[in-house]
Amino acid sequence: MSRRVTIAYLIGLALLLVAPGFIYPILVMKVLCFALFACAFNLLLGYTGLLSFGHAVFLGTAAYVTGHALKVWELPTLLGLAVGTLAAAALGWVIGSLAIRRQGIYFAMVTLALAQMVFFLFLQAPFTGGEDGLQGIPRGTLFGLDLANDVNLYYLVLAIFAGSFWLIQRTIHSPFGQILKAIRENEPRAISLGYDVAKYKLLAFVLSAGLAGLAGATKTLVFKFATLTDAHWHTSGEVVLMTLLGGMGTVFGPVVGATVIVTLQNELADKVGSLVTVIMGAIFVICVLAFRRGIVGESLALYKRMIGQKA
């Protein structure tokens, strides 16, 4: 099992390494950013059982802060990314400590409402550029390599994605990750076993917010702009959809989901116009009604049935 997984990882990595030779690098980078965003979100929904409906706010915050750091403060690229990520993690700490005071459905509403509040602050704050957003953000250089070159940037983005993906895997399989799963399965029992559930939830929330922030910061670097769309609740809905479609609580689910959704949006944007939202909504409905384990979850179940194990 573990050997096959290792081989799968290596094949995936090899494909990603040569991808810019075949596919438009900007598109692959966009997919990688959203895949990281969805993986970070999955850490919370899939492994801790917390549905945050305001995760776009971390993506957006990091996008703005990194954009501001690179453009106005003229920080080096990596430092800019770090500042954005830390800002998102800090905001995650604030929002997380408020939201974990309620459970289940209320948690989702609280995160959505707090994210909306931050969205309005961004709308009014002078440094975000209001409706126009931040534009013309420089990518800078790294180890003497000019990141304005898409292929150079691609390998930085790939490194960030691979590193974060590895970190998420380590977290899931660590004792800390096991406790998170215990909280997801049975919170009262985790409490009665003596775990400080609130502390673990908050830590998971901050980690997830920080990684979502890293995704947002990287996205700013790729597109050279940061806009209000990044922090809008529509984007929060999108990341939920990516995770649900790919398979929540699975390792590769969010990556698959993000790839499908980003590609779909890319293909459909000029063909159906505003009907994209309707299609996204329909995918949501179909997933919830008939397809709750997602693409990866259903495939795994099918595979297990084929080799004769109980799903």
- Report in angstroms how near the CB of residue 73 gets to other proteins at its nearest: 26
Q: Which is nearer to other proteins, 20 or 254 (CB)?
A: 254
Is residue 106 within a helix (H) or strand (E), and if so which, with residue range?
helix 104-124
For residue 188, give every residue at least 6 positions away whose Cβ sits within 8 Å of its Cβ, in sequence order, or none.
none
Whether the CB-CB separation of 183 and 201 falls below 8 Å is answered with yes
Q: Could you tell me which of 216, 205, 204 has the C-alpha nearest to residue 178?
A: 204
Q: How many CB atoms lie within 10 A of CB 14?
A: 10
Q: Kindly tell me the burial class for residue 113, based on how many C-beta atoms sit within 10 Å of its own C-beta (0-12, 13-18, 19 or more).
A: middle
CA distance 231 to 41: 15
Please give the Cα distance from 8 to 6 (Å, whole number).
5
Q: How far is the CB of 298 from other proteins (least distance, A)?
A: 16
What are φ and ψ of residue 75, in 5° steps? -75, 160
Residue 216 C-beta: closest distance to other proteins, Å = 21
| 65-102 core/surface letters (b: 16 or more CB in 10 A; e: else) | bbbbbbbeeebebeebbbbbbbbbbbbbbebbeebbee
Choose between 262 and 280: whose C-beta lies nearer to other proteins. Answer: 280
What residue ranges bind other proteins (CB under 8 A)? 51, 53, 98-99, 101-102, 104-106, 108-110, 112-114, 116-117, 120-121, 123-124, 233, 237, 240, 244, 273-278, 280-285, 287-289, 292
Four-CA torsion 195, 200, 201, 204, nearest 10 degrees: -150
Nearer to other proteins, 116 or 152 (CB): 116
Smallest distance from the beta carbon of 131 to other proteins, in angstroms?
Answer: 14
Nearer to other proteins, 114 or 214 (CB): 114
Q: Does residue 25 contact residue 154 with C-beta atoms inside 8 Å?
A: yes
CB of 230 to other proteins, least distance (A): 17
In whole angstroms, the minimum distance from the beta carbon of 242 to other proteins comes to 13
Q: Smallest gap, in angstroms, from Cβ of residue 277 to other proteins?
A: 3
